[in-house]
Structure 1
């Protein structure tokens, strides 16, 4: 199974694709979609369009089976939070349009899944992503975060499939 992790951002949207084979994880690809700022009132719409097209191209190239997006945290600046929310909408829309189920995770849940601590620093997260995906080279910090989101979702999916197997075996035993 291939899992696409997405770190939403209006200027830089990180993405990372991993392959999950039982307990093994393997790096497939990562990068950043950088929106192009234009002059005038259409700036936000143009950026969102650029992000959407870029993410659709990643999905077409890597053909993921599942996707995950980091939830938005509230900034001090309400306007910035709203704009980030719009970029996050693109991160949810592109996989949904491709028929891919999308998981959503709080930043602390991602850190806890990857590092074991919900308030880990970026350096700790990047180190543990390197440990879990040997030989990985990050395109940027945003791409590293996206890979961490993909790893978190892979762990969640593995845990869910284990619960289904256990629940199914209990029913069969009764």
Structure 2
């Protein structure tokens, strides 16, 4: 089974691709899709994310995709942009016929670290340990993508 975890954002979309074979879980790749606001419209940035997500899906043929749910605080503009990014990700997944499962930040923290109140650094270190990586994936968004994929795999057990 191949799962892609996605941490949506307009400037950076973090992703982590994990394969599970029986009891073995291993990372296939991780990284970020980055877009710049310099001289680019929101629609251009969304199209770039959509296109690169399609390539990621085509390269890895995921069985399922896990996405972090929209976490809304005080910045309405930021929340709207993240919602738009989630929309293009959901569209790309639907076009491939791949199921999307959504998790809250607390569910992700709990599944990866054992505590829904874990700090970001604790979750990142657990990602490193669980996937037997030499160092914590950088940037943070890539580690978050892996954490989301791990959350989904741990939830399936």
- TM-score, scaled relative to structure 2: 0.93
Report the Cα distance in structure 2 between the residues aligned to 1:59 and 1:133, rounded to whole angstroms.
21
Unaligned runs of 5+ in 2: none
Say if 1:53 and 1:139 are closer, same or farther in 2 by CA, change over 3 A.
farther
Report the Cα distance in structure 1 between the residues aligned to 2:15 and 2:131, rounded to whole angstroms.
15
Say if 1:58 and 1:136 are closer, same or farther in 2 by CA, change over 3 A.
farther
2:92 matched residue in structure 1: 94
Give the CA RMSD over aligned residues: 1.4
Q: Which has the larger radius of gyration?
A: 1
Say if 1:49 and 1:58 are closer, same or farther in 2 by CA, change over 3 A.
same
* C-alpha deviation, 1:92, in angstroms: 1.8
Which portions of structure 1, spanning 4 or more consecutive aligned residues, are displaced by more than 2 angstroms? 36-39
Q: Could you list the per-position Cα deviations for residues 63-82 of structure 1 after superposition, in whole angstroms to 9, with x for gaps in the alignment?
A: 11111000011121212111
Report the Cα distance in structure 2 between the residues aligned to 1:93 and 1:56, rounded to whole angstroms.
10
Q: Are residue 30 (structure 1) and residue 11 (structure 2) matched?
A: no
Q: Are residue 152 (structure 1) and residue 154 (structure 2) matched?
A: no
SS at match of 1:3: strand
Q: Are residue 67 (structure 1) and residue 65 (structure 2) matched?
A: yes
Q: Indicate conservation of the 8 Å contact 1:32/1:139, yes or no.
A: no
> Between Structure 1 and Structure 2, how many residues are aligned?
156
2:75 matched residue in structure 1: 77
Q: Indicate conservation of the 8 Å contact 1:38/1:46, yes or no.
A: no
